[in-house]
Chains A and B, each alone.
Chain A
């Protein structure tokens, strides 16, 4: 929805809703991965990575991106700075 629509309180057009809903559903159909399974994967990733390097678990973001017909698992894992680690 555009900024103008938002401030005008306009309702999102149905084609836009259909596209957004399809983007999500196709990602799940293609990967056979439910949102709950993705969440479980995220928790396990945090656990494994934390054994090697200190990360900020609350800021970890994991998502599936589409590129044409292929899917890509994108994990954004912010590290805690070394200076903060030394200070502790």
Chain B
């Protein structure tokens, strides 16, 4: 095994990185892949609650790095998908408890025992971000169609280019097609034109995401959720499949029916 190491980052906080990591982990593991998700946000951990694994934490990533436990002991196995694991962040430490070379060493060890390592980067462009991208083979920048989130995403893309991490790909999260149609929200085309990187997924705004977070069941587990479907599509694209981008128009609407008749795809 030689795992692909993927980091999701955004610059701005609260745009949906943790939701994306949890759902991509679920979706990849659901496709028979062995996945380890790492919470890179030391001191402000959250991936554990989004994945619903918060009650099972014994050791965390800093315990591994500081030699208090073996790597395997800090990997919490997800009961729903036995090939999915979480390495939680330490809650009572700060970003300086980890260095980029610690992350490199940890990820090198993980490479041999899984197919995917998904790293949830903290917001910002400081130490926690640097730690999270250190070992990445591939970086995904996630943003919302909000002016501040797009600006911060552009900064992060600039830093990734300067650090020679290659061109990242983009997930555009929380797109409200109704507002886009009214021209009161930046469209996926607008954001792509501004950021000028490759798109790997567009995720519609979906109230089911909050409900899923409340329950600790990542949205990709919800077969009826459009956001869940969007994350499952991204997982398929990560695995090299060509999946057309989702039609974000309201299903059953007049335009949608016309689109279907004319064979147009979103």
- List A residues at the B interface (Cβ < 8 Å): 13-16, 18-19, 21-23, 25-26, 29-30, 66, 68-69
Contact = CB atoms under 8 A, between A and B. Distances in A.
Contacts of A66: 196
B57 to A, nearest CB: 39
A29 B155 contact: yes
Interface stretch (B106-114, B179-187, B239-247): B179-187
Contact of A22 (B151, B183, B184, B196): B151
A21 B185 CA distance: 14
Interface in B164-216: 167, 180, 182-187, 190, 193-197
Interface of B: 147, 150-151, 154-155, 157-158, 161, 167, 180, 182-187, 190, 193-197
B194 A19 contact: yes
B27 to A, nearest CB: 29
Given A22-B151, A26-B151, A69 B196 contact: yes
Nearest to A66: B196
Contact of A29 (B158, B186, B197): B158
B182 A21 contact: no
Interface of A is mostly: helix
22 contacts: A13-B182, A13-B183, A14-B184, A15-B180, A15-B183, A15-B184, A15-B185, A19-B186, A19-B190, A21-B147, A22-B151, A22-B186, A23-B194, A26-B194, A29-B154, A30-B154, A30-B158, A66-B196, A68-B196, A69-B157, A69-B167, A69-B197
Contacts of B161: 69
Contacts of B186: 15, 18-19, 22
Nearest to A18: B147
A34 to B, nearest CB: 16
Contacts of B187: 15
Nearest to B150: A22
Contacts of A16: 183
Contacts of A22: 147, 150-151, 186, 194
Contacts of B197: 69
A69 B196 CA distance: 6
Contacts of B151: 22, 25-26, 29
A66 B194 CA distance: 9
